[in-house]
Chain A
């Protein structure tokens, strides 16, 4: 259940969304609501809030499918940096992010799009005096062509390491079915760089992915709730056979089932945020990871179901470009793939639960 402060945050985001759009939106959200700073500790110039707060913003952005760097920069890249526990790098990189003056991205996934911490798209080779040479091509990099800071996950001998790439990055925007999600292919050729943090970064990368999954789940909940609201509203207004189609039991019951789905998805999503925010030790960390994957699976499937039903219940108008239904449908599909498909997370969960 959201606290009063969280409800205020949601209202603040909603009011900015009502006034601003396009390129002005993100700077205003950062200046007036401080969304980029939310989940950054105060020591690094942030607001010291939690994943739950990021989820609240994501849920509001999700309602209208508003494009924004929240997921790629404020959630994934920021939490990747934090997970690396490198104080110097955090000090240097996080405060421009917190102010909303810069964007960061994490390049990680190979073309298979698995976001599995056991594999990554880059290799790093020691080049002496603490420096490394990084090579590789990552796919599905959020805001990769407009980010100021590019972090890459690279295989480094037996370990996995995190690197910041300043020069030698080639990022190319990719056209996606879901036009509201900006993605790029990022190629790094022989870039010389220093490593962020020490030791194997697999666990940190998994944690960053879990945070991103929990925030994405919130976006899915917001979008699913809004898609259902629009469908309900349409069915009350569209008249056939002399009455609003929403009065027909065959349609009512389908919408009732969707309501059950959306509300339970919302619970799973909030619980994931709370679990990530309160995880302190290995055991609660594992429970939080499980909660995040549960949320991602559950919310992906709930949103996909709602978006498909949105089209069916709207009828002919929903298969036109001018109606929004296809945008929700496409977002449902793309967000279901992003950071790992439901069946992959289910297999991860199953491996943890069933062994």
Chain B
């Protein structure tokens, strides 16, 4: 990024770059959604943690470096430019950890974060359910009070990393009267506030009563799983925030800037640079239409970086991310698909063979779906940024 960086930031960037240059494996690892790849990525995370680079924006006491948002963006740029492995514990580091910083107890942070930083515990998310996808407030899995804790029952799905992860976090309906599903209360009018009576809980994927059924994604790897829960005991210590107040806990960190919403531009800049290399190697200079698309992908990655930098500056001045995160999501999800489609077109027939571009393309297809579909994001932009009337979802 072309910025006037202060001395501390420059030193940090140089340190990150030289550490990565010395440590990033030459050969790409297997996909972290395969058993072997998962283990390789777990080891890599421990190596990152030894250099205190696995969670740079966390406080130092938990293995981080207290990085500012700008430093985090710079870290990410260097990380992806170096071709470093994808982050197997991103659900934990970028979603659960910010939740614990905002709503967790000191005991929870001490117990959970250090193991997360080293990926001794890898986290899966457990938000969606068969009847609750985009409409997450329709979830039906339950948490029932018992001595010293809660019993979880129900079914979660599309749980990223759950096939091989150790633990998971998600929302459960802890007040049976708040269940709005027609099956629960056929004759009654649903209560007005669908968001009350939910509790944010963490649970062990290897506990009694948990069954995980991996689901192969379109790349053939089990990138996510179904989780069946049958009276799974969770101690009170693993509730985040107040029982019944889970929706608020989930929403305050759903837009976390270091997570999916403000997805680091470094990722796309690095991909755009690889696309340029690919073009120089394999592109047909006479094909000006394709050359234009390559240039466009580069322009798009650059525009995304610039837009994100504007957001980072706004946040550094004390602003909040808010619904603008939907703009980011819409931007990068489309950019990622277009960039990979262009690469495959440059590769031509070779693109049909298994390789990083094909894998990247298949992965990019999920971008407009996970973390809130692009349709949900557009509704957010329309209603909350443009002030258009709310309507039926």
Contacts and interface: CB of A to CB of B under 8 A. Distances in A.
Q: A236, A243, A267 — which one has the most chain B CB atoms within 10 A of its CB?
A: A267
Size class of the B contact interface (CB-based, 8 Å): 35 or more
A294 B389 contact: no
Interface string B376-393: 011111110111111110
B331 A235 contact: no
B276 interface: yes
B213 interface: no
A75 interface: no
The binding surface of chain B is classed by DSSP as helix
A260 B388 CA distance: 15
Interface of B: 2, 276, 279-280, 283, 285, 288, 291-292, 294-296, 298-299, 302-304, 306-307, 309-310, 313-314, 317, 326-327, 330-331, 375, 377-383, 385-392
Nearest to B326: A256
A350 B303 contact: no
Contacts of A294: 299, 302-303
A343 B313 CA distance: 32
Contacts of B390: 247
Contact of A354 (B291, B317, B391): B291
Contacts of A347: 288, 291-292, 295
Contact of B296 (A235, A246, A264, A346): A346
Nearest to B290: A350
A298 B382 CA distance: 22
B330 A257 contact: yes
Interface string A220-252: 000000000000100110000001101111001
A255 B386 contact: yes
Interface string A24-37: 00000000000000
A264 B307 contact: yes
Contacts of B386: 232, 252, 255-256, 259
A72 to B, nearest CB: 26
Given A259-B381, A260-B331, A347-B291, A253 B391 contact: no
Nearest to B289: A343
Interface of A: 1, 232, 235-236, 243-244, 246-249, 252-253, 255-257, 259-260, 263-268, 270-271, 275, 284, 287, 294, 297-298, 343, 346-347, 349-350, 353-355
Contact of B294 (A246, A268, A354): A354
Closest 3 CB pairs of A and B: A247-B389, A252-B382, A256-B381
Given A236-B387, A248-B391, A267-B309, A253 B283 contact: no
A246 B388 contact: yes
A256 B330 contact: yes
A249 B374 CA distance: 13
Given A246-B389, A287-B2, A354 B330 contact: no
11 contacts: A1-B314, A232-B386, A256-B379, A256-B382, A257-B378, A259-B382, A260-B331, A270-B306, A271-B306, A297-B299, A353-B294
B313 A354 contact: no
A253 B327 contact: no
A287 B2 CA distance: 10
Contacts of A253: 375, 378-379, 382
A269 to B, nearest CB: 9
Nearest to B283: A354
A252 B378 contact: yes
A268 B302 contact: yes
Q: B280, B304, B377, B382 — which one has the most chain A CB atoms within 10 A of its CB?
A: B382
A350 B292 contact: yes
Contacts of B375: 249, 253
A298 B307 CA distance: 13
A267 B321 CA distance: 17
Contacts of A256: 326, 330, 377-382, 385-386
